[in-house]
Structure 1
């Protein structure tokens, strides 16, 4: 079993990155810089319709992923099926018509807040709730942003290939383009390496190795190139937001979000700076902040999270309880 502090760090820092980036998601870097200065947003703000420290669908779905995986472990049932049911619970919190409630999180009213939920996730889960087969070609980042718990719940004897495959299968429930689910597999392997005390560099290479082992060259090419570009950019130091956008994109797709998180985690001296780099660009700031927080929180533990980020963090108590169950 993994160290509890690594699990707490991964989940809490992911939520903190989500909360930091949420108010500036969809905003251009020019507007962010105008409102917050040359370093961009560095602390929680209540702007953008969000309360101070408010989480979004990124953290919500991460917690439902974790609930499904814990239920599968406790019952000895299929983790993909249990997480599918957990996602239907999340869909119900967003107003979706689901007759059956399978878990406990669905009854927490805080998780019923609608925080710009991903349209692909809503559409796919709507079809699943209606008993239909979801078929799409989406590579949005809604698959990768929620799978960190796969690394936290994995048994010690599980191989990286098994961790990669499970995370990819969970992402494929809603995102079926290779870059939408292979990025999720690579990310889960990176988190797993970090909770086992690997360096960020080692974790990235572990994720790439698993990607090459599992996926064909044609399927993995886009994700592999994006991660390699992130590694190359990080070697130049902390990049400016415009450079992140030019080289890695806006984080809207799975491979782009993973690349920004990898770059931020590699180039920054600490968790605070890594998350700051990850959210300050013209793109999906809450998702890239969440992924970077997952990575660096897994590596450095909860103590690395700025106390002023932890205090007002929405659902902190719930995250702590789920971390203890791991």
Structure 2
């Protein structure tokens, strides 16, 4: 997609890909939730020889999302707020993202929205978000105080799980940014909770791949770009090796659970490594004949099914847009209205931001939704 050209067709395509990315990620998250903590054998025993083939009850009902989707929503909210605050001259997106993640952290311990907080914006007033949905410990501890983790002084330096990667697809939606800047921002924001290079570089890889897809690249080309950019980063080897394994697996036999299992289970056998979840997601997106098949592959294994499902869904949604997503699954998806609302607001900000706010004019309604404070 050519940047700077925002005709009607370009805007519609961009909005469809944003919707696809966010809805696809949430669908993969919800599909993977019933598989959390189960081996492939246990999944087959519980759901039949093909394992999970569609939405199943988890966390109380079918279609319910986890903390991966909650944090993805707040990532988008933070990115919009960062662009709105640019008018003030206070341009430091990692700080705006950190504030967004602190708003998420409040949903994990407060009973409901704090109406006294006028700077919360609309998302933090969504009551359905005030629920704990299997958040990773590193996210809870990383955002337990106001201290901003950085690459020099990251939070949780040993945390290498995929929770930071699972929330990072929205950085790739910054279509007007150069890939190097997308990588840098996503890595800096991942280090706010996940200090291990495997975790925050996996998050950066997700963002760069989505960025390429949004711009119209093929998935293979987007992965190759990520490999090139990651190669200059200290500690990149586990992540670049994982991406190379995913690419190689495409040519090694027919797609199936065994191939995904080999990618998704880390050397310790606990399936908690971000690079392994990334490899499984990329492989499943590469071999998928359609979105449902890709998502089924991405969650039926003994690794991190939630992260792999969310990441694969984000990739397929960015690649094909919202119309490729299974309507029957979307109908049951928790938070679908909020996801759509946020996606459309993001598209509006990226394409028509100057008409909504500037150093001299502003839409009061927009600033009530996305306060500058």
The answer, yes or no, to whether TM exceeds 0.5 is yes
- Equivalents in 1 of 2:215, 2:84: separation in Å? 23
Residues 175, 214 of structure 2: 8 Å contact kept = no
Alignment check: 8 A CA contact 1:235 1:267 kept: no
Moved over 4 A (4+): 96-101, 129-133
Decide which of 122, 140, 164 is 2:140's aligned counterpart.
122
- Counterpart check, 1:110 vs 2:110: no
Matched, 1:50 2:60: yes
Q: 1:184 maps to what in 2? A: 203
User: How many Å apart are 1:159 and its aligned residue?
Assistant: 1.5
- Give the 3 Å change call, closer, same or farther, for CA 323–130 of structure 1 in structure 2: closer
Match 1:311 to one of 318, 323, 331: 331
Whole-angstrom distance in 2 between the partners of 1:310 and 1:121? 27
Q: 1:247 to 1:130 in 2, by over 3 A?
A: closer
Separation of aligned partners in 2, 1:270 and 1:242 = 19
1:212, CA displacement in angstroms? 1.6
1:35 is matched with: 46
CA offsets per residue over residues 58-87 of structure 1, 9 Å max, x none?
010000010001000112132111110111
C-alpha change, 1:273 and 1:133, in structure 2 (3 Å) is closer
Partner of 1:143: 164
User: 1:35: how far off?
Assistant: 2.0
Superposed displacement of residue 287, structure 1 = 1.1
Greater Rg over alpha carbons, structure: 2
Larger deviation, residues 248-257 vs 184-193 = 248-257
**Larger helix proportion of the pair:** 1
Q: Are residues 50 and 238 of structure 1, via their aligned partners in 2, closer, same or farther at CA, if it must alter by over 3 Å? A: farther
> For 1:6-21, what aligned pairs fall within 5 Å after superposition?
6-21=17-32
- Conservation of the 8 A alpha-carbon contact between 1:163 and 1:188: yes
Q: How many residues align?
A: 320
Residues 221-300 of structure 1 correspond to what in structure 2 (within 5 A)?
221-249=237-265, 251-300=271-320
CA RMSD in angstroms, aligned pairs only? 2.2
Q: d(CA) in 2 for partners of 1:133 and 1:247?
A: 27
CA shift, 1:129, in A, is 6.4
Secondary structure of 2:231's aligned partner: helix
**What TM-score do the two structures reach when normalised by structure 2?**
0.81
Long gaps (5+) in structure 1: none
Instruction: Sort the Cα spacing of 1:135 and 1:249 in 2 relative to 1 into closer, same or farther, 3 A.
Output: closer
Q: Could you say which residue in structure 1 is the equivalent of 2:217?
A: 198
TM score, norm. by length of structure 1:
0.92
Contact 2:198 2:274 in 1 (8 A): yes
Question: Contact conserved, 1:226 with 1:248, CA < 8 A, in 2?
Answer: no
Distance (Å, rounded) in 2 between the aligned partners of 1:260 and 1:135: 24
Match of 2:37 in 1: 26
Moved more, 129-138 or 82-91: 129-138
- Aligned CA distance change for structure 1 residues 135 and 315 (closer, same or farther; 3 Å): closer
